[in-house]
């Protein structure tokens, strides 16, 4: 888990992908799903184009059978277009919880399901100076 989170922070996405048996992200806050290596690579590229310094700060980890629960803050600076709008240059911090599902033998991640309130991010990016 720690390698997964650290490799995302350091943009070592081949290393991040290696932590998966089958790469899959489910972003509950936006309803987006990225399934398979190609879609996950595109997610990495797209999210880092908008927030090049995107990173996580882990608060806690909890192991529960074939799932690991990670509480963390996601941070980033809006330097690319998110939905066609101009970048604001503003930063955000959003508390999140991710459930990492593992194969029953525990060898690799099969899904990262991330729970967050997208308005927490968008509100900070739209806030007046």
Domain ranges of the chain: 2-126
pLDDT score at 116: 98
pLDDT score at 129: 81
100: number of Cβ within 10 Å: 22
Which residue, chain included where needed, has tokens 């459930």? 99
pTM of the model: 0.93
Rounded distance, CA 54 to CA 56, Å? Answer: 7
Mean pLDDT, the chain, integer: 95
Q: What is the pLDDT of residues 65-114, one digit of tens each?
A: 899 999 999 999 999 997 788 899 999 999 999 999 998 876 799 999 99
Q: Classify domain 2-126 by CATH architecture.
A: Roll (3.10)
Alpha carbon 103 to its chain centroid, in Å, reads 20
Among the listed residues 56, 64, 63, 65, the one whose alpha carbon sits nearest the alpha carbon of residue 114? 56
């Amino acid at each position: 888990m720690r390698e997964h989170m650290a490799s995302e922070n350091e943009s070592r996405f081949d290393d991040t992908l290696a932590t998966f048996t089958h790469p899959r992200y489910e972003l509950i806050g936006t309803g987006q799903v990225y399934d398979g290596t190609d879609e996950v690579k595109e997610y990495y590229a797209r999210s880092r184009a908008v927030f090049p310094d995107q990173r996580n700060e882990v608060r806690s980890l909890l192991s529960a059978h074939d799932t690991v629960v990670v509480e963390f803050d996601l941070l980033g600076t809006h330097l690319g277009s998110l939905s066609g709008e101009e970048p604001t240059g503003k930063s955000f911090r959003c508390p999140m919880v991710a459930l990492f599902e593992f194969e029953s033998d525990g060898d690799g991640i099969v899904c990262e399901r991330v729970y967050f309130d997208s308005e927490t991010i968008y509100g900070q990016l739209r806030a007046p100076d």
